[in-house]
Amino acid sequence: GAGVSQSPSNKVTEKGKDVELRCDPISGHTALYWYRQRLGQGLEFLIYFQGNSAPDKSGLPSDRFSAERTGESVSTLTIQRTQQEDSAVYLCASRVSGQNQPQHFGDGTRLSIL
């Protein structure tokens, strides 16, 4: 499809397990973002990738969170030793380069930690 694709759409796992979330950006979009949206709250920035530059990891809440992206392709967000407070919707967005270019969002992965 033409939009940002995220998988899985829903993930339920037990506390302490590791999870991996995937984002396929729009083709040609050099910038990619991960956000976290807790229930009833706004979006919390996690990490930003721009081409082959070093990622901006300033939003990652703890060292249990990490993300990778190879070039301008797929990105994966990994959460190790999940905690109940990690339950949220994780949204990915991509855009073309240029400050004024808008971010296009995927539908998110709803993560529930039991």
Partner 1 sequence: GEDVEQSLFLSVREGDSSVINCTYTDSSSTYLYWYKQEPGAGLQLLTYIFSNMDMKQDQRLTVLLNKKDKHLSLRIADTQTGDSAIYFCAADQTGANNLFFGTGTRLTVIP
Return the residues of window 43-82 that contact partner 1 according to CB under 8 A: 43, 45, 48, 50, 56, 59
- Closest listed residue to residue 68, CA positions, set 88, 47, 44: 47
Q: Which is nearer to partner 1, 70 or 97 (CB)?
A: 97
CB 90 → partner 1: shortest distance, Å?
11
CB 91 → partner 1: shortest distance, Å?
6
- If binding is defined by CB under 8 A, does position 29 make contact with partner 1? no
Cα–Cα distance list, 68 to 1, 8, 21 (Å): 22, 17, 11
DSSP category for residue 62 = S
3-state secondary structure of 27: coil
Alpha helices (runs of H) in the chain, residue ranges in sequence order: none
The footprint of partner 1 (CB under 8 A) covers 4, 6, 31, 33, 35, 40-43, 45, 48, 50, 56, 59, 91, 93, 99-100, 102-108
